[in-house]
Chains A and B, each alone.
Chain A
Amino acid sequence: MKKILFQAVIIISLIFAVWYVLSKVDWMRIFKVEQITNKTEKKLGDLFWELYNSAEKEIKSEEAIQPLDSILTKICVSNNIDKSQVKLHLVQSNEINAFVLPNRHLVINTGLILAAEDEGEVAGVISHEIAHMELNHVMKKLVKEVGLSVLISMTTGSGSSEQVKAAVKLLSSSAYDRNLEKEADIKAVDYLKKSKINPVHFANFLTRLSDKEPAGIKYFSWISTHPDSKERAEYITALCNKNTKYPQPVISRQTWDNLRQYLSEKKESRP
């Protein structure tokens, strides 16, 4: 009996030893797995953005983009994130919403800027969305909800337009699961701290919008798709160090007011 047990241990050990040795080989590089994944993500990102952009109006004026770009640059530079890979899109929509599409498309609605009281609140939302990008939540969510085979068929052109529309809707108007949202919040606070932006603005934004949101108001997408905003605001506040002094804001009050003024005028002039 002892002999059999000894032989069983040897066989199992042999299997694990082979697995261990093989895992030391960089298969991901040999099979170019990351390269293939990146290509798929790029194709999906372009496809999704093209579809979303065809239905919404993108604001490209320097006046509006520049301040947001400054905030984005500050966060990326302070956190060693390649800013050139992030595609910032400002979309004219009253919906208070911001989301990311594959291949680092960051979409911010004008409604969100107008709902924010200062640049720190917008910085909080941008940090949260960048965290989703950096933590690869976008592709994880897509693979989980849509399925890898459907995603691949979309990139090869054999997927239906309805499937593509459903995938864009999924990313723009539904939340990530609770754990992923919390993970992104914690990462966002870290990004904000490193960027010398007070994370308390982010918590304030969540608290204020969740307080304001009465039943039936349809414009509060970012809050309604990010449940438990009060709870999130609480743990974000808990992560803030009250004794830390934060320097001047990334953009001046004047620039912030000009941005809001510009977007308000655009909103009013919209037919």
Chain B
Amino acid sequence: MISSEQFIYPPGEHEAEKASNSYLMSLIALIAGLPFPIVNLFATLIFYFGNRKGTYFVRWHCTQALLSQLSVLPFNSFGFWWTISIIFSSETITNNYIAYIFTLIIFNVAEFIATIYTAISTRKGTHVAWWFYSDLTNLFCKP
């Protein structure tokens, strides 16, 4: 699912730090914004726009971090509003609801671990490509 690949050029120290920060940004946002999925997206989006004029290596990793956040947003939002409707309306807790929350936990934890690993690797200048997200990033991010 995650592979270390050779980037088209060896990134410099400064680039590696910035690229690593894009993942750290989404991690911090993830911790702070757990109950509000939209917070994660905004934090990553702000970082993305702040670095869109950066070097290719930085832009590429900012895009991969943003796309991974974007993809979990609808699922987390659905779970969030489902929970709100249980607390404040006549919706009740069902087996499907509990199963959905566990599904969210599994995928969010997987993303969390992948993000930590990628943040550490990119800091060392290693190019980490995620399955599906790297191909998608290549579509949007050109050298």
Q: Chain A residues in contact with chain B, CB under 8 A?
A: 1, 3-4, 7-8, 10-11, 15, 18-19, 22-23, 25-28, 31, 33, 37, 136, 140-141, 143-144, 147-149
Interchain CA distance A173-B20 in the complex, whole Å: 62
**Cβ distance B107 to chain A, nearest Cβ, rounded Å:** 6
Please list 15 pairs of residues, one from A and one from B, whose beta carbons are closer than 8 Å in the complex, sorted by A's number: A1-B139, A4-B139, A7-B131, A11-B132, A22-B98, A22-B99, A22-B100, A23-B96, A25-B99, A27-B95, A28-B93, A144-B89, A148-B86, A148-B88, A149-B87
Which residue in B90, B94, B95, B99 is a CB contact (below 8 Å) of A141?
B90
CB-CB under 8 A from B71, the residues of chain A are 11
> Chain A nearest CB: distance from B92 CB in Å?
8
CB distance from B94 to the nearest CB of A (A): 8
Check B34 for interface membership: any CB of A closer than 8 A. Answer: no
Query: A148 vs B75: C-alpha distance in the bound complex, in angstroms?
Result: 24
Least CB distance, B28 to chain A, in whole angstroms: 25
**Residue of A at shortest CB range from B86?**
A148
| Contact A8 B106, beta carbon cutoff 8 Å | no
- Given A25-B99, A28-B95: 11 more A-B contacts, CB < 8 Å: A4-B132, A4-B139, A11-B71, A19-B99, A22-B98, A27-B102, A33-B93, A143-B90, A144-B90, A147-B87, A148-B88
CB <8 Å contact, B99 and A4: no
Q: Which residues of B contact A1 (CB under 8 A)?
A: 139
Q: Are B88 and A140 in contact (CB under 8 A)?
A: no
| Docked complex: B62-114 residues within 8 A CB-CB of A | 71, 75, 86-90, 92-96, 98-100, 102-103, 106-107
Q: With contacts A28-B98, A147-B87 known, is A19 near B103, CB below 8 A?
A: yes
Known contacts A7-B135, A8-B132, A15-B75; decide if A22 and B88 are in contact (CB<8 Å): no
Given contacts A8-B132, A15-B107, contact A27 B98 (CB under 8 A): yes
Q: How many angstroms from the CA of A26 to the CA of B95 in the assembled complex? A: 7
Q: Which of B98, B106, B131 has the most CB of A within 10 A?
A: B98
Q: Are B95 and A23 in contact (CB under 8 A)?
A: yes
Docked complex Cα distance between A140 and B96 (Å): 18
Tell me if B136 is interfacial: C-beta within 8 Å of chain A: yes
Cβ 8 A contact of A18, one of B88, B94, B96, B106: B106
